[in-house]
Amino acid sequence: MENPHQPELWQNVFVVLGSSSAALIGLLFIATSLHLKEVVNNPVFYSRAFNHTRFLLIILVEALLVLIPQPMFVLGAELVAINVLGLWLPLRLVYIFFQNNEGYRRGGAALYRAIIFSIGFLLGIAGGALLVERLSWGIYLVAASCVILLVRVVLSAWSIMEGVGQLENTTKTKRGIG
């Protein structure tokens, strides 16, 4: 089966992206389980941790799809579908943000995060659409999409842990422990 987008040229990139996302899924599970009470009791932290896991799973699946030998238009259709599914998550968060703006701001939510995730998924949709049209440079957009999503998840996960740490310090101070 001839594959004109030459996945062998992209193999290392998507192996790294897939491996990184798989490793980060594991670390996110560990970090969340170590601070389960704080994450579960805060709807913003809970939502972000759950969505970050989904974002990382999407990156992992995209990397696997690119590495599977298949016709370019099939790969493109699969990438469009998974990125449309992924785009639904930040758009849903924007809707929730505007429904409960004060509560989400108090919990540390920020609209710019949803915008960055949306841009990442839109790049993935555009890249997939280009591959459907057999324009091999669409793979650049798919790779950029995965990198943007991965970086944003890492930065957001760090801010979750920062928030959890602040909650723990506040709780200890109120008890007179710290």
Residue ranges per structural domain of the chain: 7-175
Long-range CB contacts for residues 125-131, cutoff 8 Å, separation at least 24: 125/79, 125/80, 125/83, 125/84, 125/87, 127/76, 127/79, 128/75, 128/76, 128/77, 128/78, 128/79, 128/80, 128/81, 128/83, 129/76, 129/80, 130/76, 131/5, 131/72, 131/73, 131/75, 131/76, 131/79
Query: Averaged over 132-152, what is the pLDDT?
Result: 95
Q: Which of 48, 65, 62 is nearest to 113 (CA)?
A: 48
Work out the pLDDT band at 1, boundaries 50, 70, 90: very low
Q: Report the distance separating Cα 151 and Cα 44, nearest Å.
A: 20
What confidence score (pLDDT) does residue 33 get? 81
pTM of the model: 0.84
For 138, the enclosing helix (H) or strand (E) is: helix 138-175
Task: Kindly report, residue by residue over 46-88, the tens digit of the pLDDT.
Answer: 878 888 999 999 999 999 999 999 999 999 999 999 999 999 9
- Min mean pLDDT across 13-17, 98-102, 131-135, 171-175 is at 171-175
Tell which residue, 61, 47, 123, has the closest CA to residue 89: 47
Tally Cβ neighbours within 10 Å of residue 40: 12
**pLDDT over 90 (residue 161):** no
For the cut 90, the answer to whether the pLDDT of residue 150 exceeds it is yes
